[in-house]
Amino acid sequence: MKHILINLSLAFLLLVGACNSPVKNISPEEIIIQRIDSLNKAGFEITDYHAHLKGGLTMEQLLDHSAKTGIKYGVAVNGGVGFPVQNDTALSAYYQSVKHYPVFHGLQGEGREWHSLFSPDSIALFDYKFTDAMTFTDAAGNRNRLWIKEEAWVSDPQEFMEYLVLQIETILSNEDVDIYVNPTFLPDTIQSQYDVLWTQERMERVVTALKENQIAMEINSRLKLPSAAFIKMAKEAGVKFTMGTNNTNAELGYLEYGLAMIQECGLRPEDFWKCGK
Ligand SMILES: [Zn+2]
């Protein structure tokens, strides 16, 4: 009996000691994984719908990352002029090569002519489709690719914005997509004026186009777009959201900006779009 009491006292002391000892150092990575876990338990299905097999990233590596982080993935192929996939044969071949993997399969339409390159049957192979407004031909006939310094034509920022907003409205009204990605992106030369150039009126026009066409808006973690003000306005209007990375290399990250925006903008599980696969 005495033995048992001594053992119990020792166990108690050890327990107290453990509680008083400094908290184990938790890495930032572990903290974010715990956050993803608690959001998933609260009804969010944390999903990155904008991953690419780029920079040597394999589907197996992506699935390992998914298992480690609790993030589900949608993996998209880029289809359009100037991309390896620009006809039905290449699009179907890509799909056949990945269809057995347990991810959502996406098609990112590139350039404004992507719809004309693929048949409806080939497009329908995919679980979802999305596009951005970073490639378009401007009034002067220049083909803009906004993420490339030499191919973003901004002579007058106000004029550029008017043209861009019109492009976004046209794309969202005419192209059959589920998500508007890399949203509200501005070229390098005017990025620092984002909050000024995206006026209330311009933001409202984009939000209205999203709402009217039932298209979700991506919250992009690599680009940290759109702004919290934009997200709050879209939420208010009933626009749905997705989270995405648009990785340009093998690093998928942890959707940090998207997770921060859930908190800052008070987003709920029902504010998010879900792939109906
Ligand atoms: Zn992309």
Give residue limits of the domains in the chain. Answer: 45-271
- Cα 49 to ligand 1 centre (Å): 10
Q: Tokens 């289809």 appear where?
A: 79
Q: Tell me, what's the pLDDT at 6?
A: 44
Question: Residue 69 and residue 72: Cα distance in Å, rounded?
Answer: 9
- Cα 75 to ligand 1 centre (Å): 9
Asked if residue 17 has pLDDT above 80, the reply is no
- Cα 11 to ligand 1 centre (Å): 55
CA angle 223, 224, 230 (to 5 degrees): 125
- Cα 108 to ligand 1 centre (Å): 6
Dihedral in degrees, nearest 10, Cα atoms 4, 7, 9, 10 = 180
Q: How high is the mean pLDDT of the chain?
A: 92
253-256 CB contacts, 8 Å cutoff, 24+ apart: 253/221, 253/222, 254/29, 254/32, 254/33, 254/36, 254/69, 254/71, 254/221, 255/36, 255/46, 255/48, 255/71, 255/221, 256/32, 256/221
Angle, helices 256-264 vs 28-41, to 10°: value is 50
Asked if residue 45 has pLDDT above 70, the reply is yes
Chain segment 109-154, per-residue pLDDT in tens: 999 999 999 999 999 999 999 999 999 999 899 999 999 999 999 9
Question: Residue 248 and residue 198: Cα distance in Å, rounded?
Answer: 26
Asked if residue 9 has pLDDT above 80, the reply is no
User: Is the four-CA dihedral 201, 203, 140, 170 of positive or negative sign?
Assistant: negative
Q: Tell me, what's the pLDDT at 23?
A: 61
Neighbours of 177 (CB within 10 A): 22
- Cα 209 to ligand 1 centre (Å): 21
Class of domain 45-271: alpha beta
Question: Residue 192 and residue 189: Cα distance in Å, rounded?
Answer: 8
Taking residues 1-13, report their average pLDDT. 46
Asked if residue 11 has pLDDT above 70, the reply is no
Asked if residue 199 has pLDDT above 50, the reply is yes
Q: Tokens 């890495």 appear where?
A: 27
Taking residues 201-224, report their average pLDDT. 98
Q: Is residue 222 within 8 Å of residue 253, measured between CB atoms?
A: yes
Residue ranges in 124-243 assigned as alpha helix (H): 157-174, 194-197, 200-212, 228-237
Give the 3-state secondary structure percentages of the chain, helix then strand then coil, rounded to 5. Answer: 45, 15, 40
Question: Residue 32 and residue 26: Cα distance in Å, rounded?
Answer: 10
Asked if residue 170 has pLDDT above 50, the reply is yes
pTM: 0.90
Taking a 5 Å cut-off on Cβ, the residues next to ion ligand 1 are 108, 246
Tell me the percentage of the chain whose pLDDT exceeds 70. Answer: 91
**Residue 70 Cα to chain centre, angstroms:** 16
Taking residues 212-225, report their average pLDDT. 98
- Amino acid code (one letter) for 229: A
Q: Is 249 left (phi over 0), alpha (psi -120 to 50) or beta?
A: beta
Q: Tell me, what's the pLDDT at 184?
A: 98
Chain segment 35-44, per-residue pLDDT in tens: 999 999 999 9
Task: Copy the structure tokens of residue 235.
Answer: 């939420």
- Cα 71 to ligand 1 centre (Å): 18
Q: Tell me, what's the pLDDT at 24?
A: 74
33 Cβ neighbours under 8 A, 6+ residues apart: 68, 69, 70, 254
Q: Tokens 């951005």 appear where?
A: 132
Chain segment 75-110, per-residue pLDDT in tens: 999 999 999 999 999 999 999 999 999 999 999 999
Taking residues 204-225, report their average pLDDT. 98
- Cα 32 to ligand 1 centre (Å): 23
- Cα 39 to ligand 1 centre (Å): 25
- Cα 52 to ligand 1 centre (Å): 7
